[in-house]
A and B are shown apart, each in its own frame.
Chain A
Amino acid sequence: MTRQSAARKPETTEAVIRLSDVNKWYGEFQALKDINLTIKRGERVVVCGPSGSGKSTMIRCINRLEEHQRGTIVVDGIELTDNLKNIEAIRSEVGMVFQSFNLFPHLRVIDNLTLAPMWVRKMPKKEAETLAMEYLERVRIPEQAYKFPGQLSGGQQQRVAIARALCMQPKIMLFDEPTSALDPEMIKEVLDVMIELAESGMTMIVVTHEMGFAKTVADTMVFMDAGEIVEVAPPSIFFEAPKSDRTKLFLSQILTH
C-alpha cells in the first residue's frame, strides 16, 4: 500500500455528524455509554473493536435504525428525534451498506437501484435508470443490471448494495462490516470500490476488521470496547503508538493472527 492517509486532510472542518453523550440500552444491557464523536465533512472514519462492543449499534443510531435513549445526535444540521419527517430526511441523506447486503430479492438489480430515487426523490424513471447505470459502472458491474440479486456472487451483491445506496446521492455513507459475510477472494473487489469512493471525497464511517483498508483509507480510527469509545486517533498514531492498553490488546490479537 503506497497511499498514506496522513497525506489527505478532510476538505473542511465543518462537523456533519455530532454525537453527544449518546446512551442506549437493550433491556438492562447498556450497549452505548456516553458516546461523543464529531465527524467532519469528507472525513473517513474507521470504527473497530471486539464484537459486541457497540460499533454497529453506534452507526445504526446515526440513521435511526436503532433508537438512542439519551444524548443527542445531529446529522447534517438535523437533530434525530421521534419526528418521522426528520428521520426520513436524514435517511435519504445517509446511505448504508449492510453486512448481509439486504438487496431486495424480488427486484432486478436495476430496480433495486432505481426504487429509492423514484419513490423518495420522485425522480422520473428514465433519469433514475440513467443514474443507476452510472453507478453500476462505477462499481464495475453494469452487465448485471437485468439479473436478480440471487443470481450474483456475494461480492457482486455487495457492490450492487453500495451502488444502491449511492443512487440516493447521499452526503454520508455508513458501512456496517461490509466484507464480513464475503468469501476471501471477493473481499478485495468490494474494498476496491470503497477505496475509490473514499478518494472521491465521500464522508464515510466504516465498521470493519480490515485493518489494511483502514490504514489505506482512514483519516480517523475509532476503537470501541464494551459500549465505550476508548480511543480516537489518526491511523499513523493508532497503529504505531496506541495509548490505551485495551487498544493494544485488540490490535495484537487482530494483527498477529
Chain B
Amino acid sequence: MTEIIAPTGDTAALAPVRKAARESEPPPTEKIGALRWLRRNLFNSPLNSALTIVAFVLVAYWGVSFVEWGILDAVWYTTDHNVCRQAAGACWAVIAEKHRPMLFGVYPYDEHWRLIVALVVYLATVTLTLTPYCWKRSILIPLWIAALAVMGTMLWGGVFGLTYVDSGQWGGLPLTMVLFTGTVVVGFPISILLALGRRSRLPAVKAISVTLIESMRGVPLITILFFAVNVFPLFLPEGMEIDKMLRVVVGMAIFFACYQAEVIRGGLQAIPRGQYEAAEALGLGYWRMTYKIVLPQALRICLPGIVNHIIAALKNTSFVLIIGLFDILTATTAVMQDPLWRRFFVEAYLFVAAVYFIFCFALSKYSQQVERWLNEGRRF
C-alpha cells in the first residue's frame, strides 16, 4: 500500500492521517563461493579440519579399492568359473549364472515364468495402490481381487493346465514378497486394534492387548516362527491341517503388529485431549471418532516410525531360513554351495543386498512423499 489516506472534507479535522505501511524489501541474497563454503563447513576449526582430512583419505582409499575390485578388474560375463578364478577383481558373472535359483528358489525350473508374471502383477498392483489417484474403493477392491487371483493361480497352479506347486516349494523373491505383504496387510490392522486396546478403558480389552504385546515383544521372531511351524500343529485336532505358509505369515504378522502397536500408541498419545472432547461433544461415537479424527492424526505423527517397522518387516522375512523356507537370502546361501562358484559368494550376497536395498529405499522414498502430501497447505 503506497497511497496516503488524506483527510478530506468536513471530517478533515477528525480523520487520522495514516502513513502508508512501509513496502517490504526482498531478503538480502547471499552468495557463497566454493572456497568459502569449504571453510565454513569443513575447515571451520582445527579439529574439524583434521577430521575432514582423515575422512577424505579413508573414503578415497576404500573408494579406489572398491572401484578396482568391483569395476576395473571385474569379470562381467562368462560361463566358465575358471575365468573368474584367474581374475583379480569381482566375478559378477556368478549373478548371470545363478540368478534363477537365487531369485526363484526351489520352484520348478520350467515354471519360473509363472513367478515372473506373479511378480510383475504384484509390483504393478502395489504401485497402483500407492498412487493417490487409485485411492477409491471402486478401484482398489477389484484391483486386489484380480491381482490376488492372478498371483494365486500363478504361484499354486493346478488350474488351466498349470502344474500344481505346493507352497512349501515357493522360493526366492516371490516368497519374500508373499511373506512381506502378508505380514504387513494382516499385521497392520491388528497393530491398530492392539494400540487402541492398550489405551482402552475396558479392563479385559486392555489386559489382552498388554499381555499379547508384552509377551510377543519378549521373545525372538525365530521362536515365534518355530512355534507356528512345529508346535502349533500339535494343538490342532487330528486330521486338521493349516497351510504352513499361512501359519508363518500369521506368526510374522502378529510379531509385526505387537511392535507396530507401540509405535502407533505413541502417535495416539500425542493427540491432545481437546480433539477427543470436540469429537465427543459433536456426538461422534468411539469408532467414528477414532476413524475420522484420532487415527488420521496419530498415524501421520508416527509415520516415520511406522515405515521403519515396515522396512524391518521386509528384512525379517529372511528369518524363514530356520523353518526351511527358501526366501531370496536362503536360496542364495543354498545356491552358493555349488563348489565351482562357491568362492564368489560375496558378489552373490551383494546382489541380494542390492535387491533388498531397492525395495527398502523405494519404501522410504515413498514415505517421504506421503509426508509431503500430508503437509501440503497445512500449518500446525
| Interface bits A59-79 vs B (CB < 8 Å: 1, else 0) | 000010100000000000000
| Interface bits B262-305 vs A (CB < 8 Å: 1, else 0) | 00000000001011011111111100100011001100100000
Q: Is the CB of A120 within 8 A of B274?
A: no
Q: Which chain B residues lie closer than 8 Å to A65 at the CB level?
A: 277, 280-281
Q: Is the CB of B292 within 8 A of A115?
A: yes
| Interface bits B356-380 vs A (CB < 8 Å: 1, else 0) | 0000000000000000000001111
Within the complex, the shortest CB–CB distance from A89 to chain B, in Å, comes to 8
Q: Is the CB of B283 within 8 A of A120?
A: yes
Q: Could you tell me how many residues of chain A have their Cβ less than 8 Å away from some Cβ of chain B? A: 29
Within the complex, the shortest CB–CB distance from A166 to chain B, in Å, comes to 11
Q: Is the CB of B377 within 8 A of A165?
A: no
Main secondary structure of the interface of B (DSSP, over half): helix
Q: Which chain B residues lie closer than 8 Å to A92 at the CB level?
A: 282-283
Q: Is the CB of B277 within 8 A of A91?
A: no
Q: Is the CB of B283 within 8 A of A168?
A: yes
Chain A residue at minimum C-beta to C-beta distance from B297: A106
Contact count A vs B, C-beta below 8 Å: 72
Q: Which chain A residues lie closer than 8 Å to B285 at the CB level?
A: 84, 88
| Interface bits A149-181 vs B (CB < 8 Å: 1, else 0) | 011000000000100110010000000000000
Chain B residue at minimum C-beta to C-beta distance from A164: B282
Given contacts A63-B281, A98-B274, contact A119 B378 (CB under 8 A): no
A250 close to chain B: CB less than 8 A? no
Q: Is the CB of A91 within 8 A of B280?
A: yes
Within the complex, the shortest CB–CB distance from A99 to chain B, in Å, comes to 9
Q: Which chain A residues lie closer than 8 Å to B274 at the CB level?
A: 98, 100, 102
A104 close to chain B: CB less than 8 A? yes
A141 close to chain B: CB less than 8 A? no
Per a CB cutoff under 8 Å, which of A89, A91, A105, A106 touches B281? A91
Given contacts A91-B283, A104-B293, A119-B284, contact A150 B378 (CB under 8 A): yes
Chain A residue at minimum C-beta to C-beta distance from B300: A106
Q: Is the CB of B300 within 8 A of A165?
A: no
Given contacts A103-B278, A119-B292, contact A150 B284 (CB under 8 A): no
Q: A120 to B380, alpha carbons, bound, how many Å?
A: 27
Given contacts A65-B277, A104-B275, A104-B293, contact A115 B282 (CB under 8 A): yes
Q: A69 to B254, alpha carbons, bound, how many Å?
A: 41
Q: A11 to B274, alpha carbons, bound, how many Å?
A: 34
Chain A residue at minimum C-beta to C-beta distance from B376: A148
Q: Which chain A residues lie closer than 8 Å to B284 at the CB level?
A: 115-116, 119-120
Q: A119 to B280, alpha carbons, bound, how many Å?
A: 12
Within the complex, the shortest CB–CB distance from B89 to chain A, in Å, comes to 54
Q: Is the CB of B282 within 8 A of A98?
A: no
Within the complex, the shortest CB–CB distance from A198 to chain B, in Å, comes to 20
Q: A94 to B281, alpha carbons, bound, how many Å?
A: 8
A47 close to chain B: CB less than 8 A? no
Per a CB cutoff under 8 Å, which of A98, A106, A120, A150 touches B379? A150
Q: Which chain B residues lie closer than 8 Å to A91 at the CB level?
A: 280-283
Q: A161 to B281, alpha carbons, bound, how many Å?
A: 12
Q: Which chain B residues lie closer than 8 Å to A63 at the CB level?
A: 280-281
Q: Which chain B residues lie closer than 8 Å to A119 at the CB level?
A: 284, 288, 292
Give 5 closest A-B pairs by Cβ, nearest first.
A92-B283, A102-B278, A150-B379, A102-B274, A116-B282
User: Would you mind naming 9 contact pairs between A and B with Cβ atoms under 8 Å apart?
Assistant: A65-B280, A91-B280, A91-B281, A96-B277, A98-B281, A102-B275, A106-B297, A116-B283, A151-B377
A115-B292, A116-B282 given. 14 additional CB < 8 A pairs? A63-B280, A88-B285, A91-B280, A94-B281, A96-B278, A102-B275, A103-B278, A104-B278, A105-B297, A105-B380, A106-B378, A115-B282, A116-B284, A120-B284
A interface residue numbers (CB < 8 A to B)? 63, 65, 84, 88-89, 91-92, 94-96, 98, 100, 102-106, 115-116, 119-120, 147-148, 150-151, 161, 164-165, 168
